[in-house]
Chains A and B, each alone.
Chain A
Amino acid sequence: MLLSALGAIYPPARILTSRAELAPYECDALTSFRASPRAVVLAESTDEVVETVRACHRLGVPYVARGSGTSLSGGSLPIEEGIVIALNRLNRILELDPEQRTAVVEPGAINSQVSAAAAPHNLFYAPDPSSQSICSIGGNLAFNAGGAHCLKHGMTSSSVLGAKVVLPDGELVELGGESIEPVGPDWMGLFVGSEGMFGIALEITLRLMPSADRTRTVLSAYESLEAAGNAAAKVVAAGLLPVAMEIMDKLAIEAAEGSVKPGYPEGIEALMIVELEGDHETVDREFEQLLEVLEGAGATEVREPDDDAQRALYWEGRKSAFSAVGWLSPDYIVQDGVVPRTRLGEALAEIGRLSEEHGIRVANVFHAGDGNLHPLILFKGSEEGALERAEELAGEILRMCIRLGGSVTGEHGIAMEKRAFLPEMFGEEDIEMMRRLWRAVDPAQIANRGKMFLPEEELERDEAADPDAAPSSAAVAGTAGPPPGGASSGEARRDTR
């Protein structure tokens, strides 16, 4: 029934069902969760997407929309009894209007290609996740992606002005518009970051920003990670508004030097990259002030790149840190918690302590300007129980973020990875409201079901087992062990290798 419905929409070559064809879609960048869907369809037009959603709704088949599959929280993990709607062929930039500073793109358009198309007009698209050369705008929108430069320019949400959307029952709606200032309730703002559970954005109107007249970047070195964190707090307190402020620790520096070789200072414990941009008359003066702050904050070395090529290399070292960590360890978990930026030093010291206590190496690369941590917890998946031990440490770091008044995710989203932690950050009423919203928008519960919230039956099961139990890493893992009663409900299986 499902396949014949899909066959009415797509030619056979664009419906994938064989094991080999499905394999690349089994997981996204969170590779510890895998599931094989019933089929993957490769959409080439928005009409096909709408028809597919309508067919899914008619047949009660859940779907997952997928762009480039770079989610770090398992956002595009397939549903076993459902299908994947691949949007990466819908990658056109439909319109670019420099005078209005807008671009209209399809959901599969690649983030950095939007900036590339805008560059001849001295404009760029601000959100810059580290995966920007491959990640899609549709995925950025669904997870409210951030990036190093969102410190000044805001998250994806601040750059999405409007969208044509297909709701989970196939109804089409338009949200937002072209103006940077909406009128009426901010429906578009609610849709951004809804993790695919409110439908699929088919055409997205983006805000472009004018490129700065001057960009100045400085790299500073520190004797400890905590010292670097405190220096970041001092830059903020000095009233400077950097466009980006990033910190890497020794392990992350080592990984970067092992792969892209950015040429960072040798033998240091931590480094910070701070970037200012704006009018040259202002930036050149502020840069002097910044150097003074850094020197006063205990920097052991302060270095400005010689030219644009070196600046780009400094950034490449930072942006490729996640993949470079593969040079240090076969597997890792990347966390995304946020702490108040004044408590950064404290949070980093605590991560160091936890790392020692658990005997697990943790590399740190993070957005210091907004307190968004990215501890990379290194482990060897082939070792019995190593993933679970790494997850336990990850969980403790997330709880620390909540305890310090922060958040469990700054920019990667909840999806599979952190759904057991949402109830630790929010109260029952808060989560019930989110669930009510989801049920109202998608009564059939077919759009990316299983993400953000623990399945209700699992919740009930956990509660029945131990009403006071805090979510364990096993709960994060979905059905890590054999499910109680032995029946698999089609949940994703854990890949413990």
Chain B
Amino acid sequence: MFDKHEIALSVKNLNVDYGDFRALENISLEIPARQITAIIGPSGCGKSTFLRCFNRMNDLVPTARVTGEVLFYGQNIYDSKVNPVEVRRHIGMVFQKPNPFPKSIYENVAYGARINGYKGNMDELVERSLRAAALWDEVKDDLKKSALALSGGQQQRLCIARAIAVEPQVILMDEPASALDPIATLKIEELMQELKKDYTIVIVTHNMQQAARVSDYTAMMMLSKEGSRAGTVIEFGPTPQIFTSPRDRRTEDYITGRFG
């Protein structure tokens, strides 16, 4: 599908179970590098669960069991030799609700790099990360101020700066703009277009217009069959095709609002 793109993440026959409950079933797809891939689908179809598979966040749920493979540039991140903390350094995450630490703006950005033993110039790293997150001009004179004093949109961009500061290759975003007003949402969307020059982005969104606006590829998720509670990817393709001529009837029905 993407002749011109390198593959960053390759998912093969992925299943996720929570105890007896199967949450994700038989997902296989490839995420192109330095592109934005959106995951859409109705509530409860496992979009966030799927996103969390990309940096082993589901490991933090005690009963969760992941089978299948997630290859990150060819390396299976679920291999027993792989350290999940190392995975998360390369594959960062931004959540729905901005979650800055109750520390200064500066410390929020510097925090991750510091625990990773960053040896370079910290001031430079903080500035570079804040600039990349399109927040520098708004906070450069207030770096010592508490991050909690920022607006919701600024806090979200701070969280993006914090994710960038550890120099990951992939940024996962779980509904990054759903708690923000339209202007702050547009800023995040514009920022994503800048970020994709350097990073692979995977975003979960309920907002189909947002998926259509920002993403290059779209994965449509749905419960795998009637009566089942396991989600799966039913259609994956270039975003313009998904939103103008989807191949699967269920994608058509969902994006045109016939159900969902």
A joins B in a complex: no
- Residues of A whose CB lies within 8 Å of any CB of B are none
- Residues of B whose CB lies within 8 Å of any CB of A are none
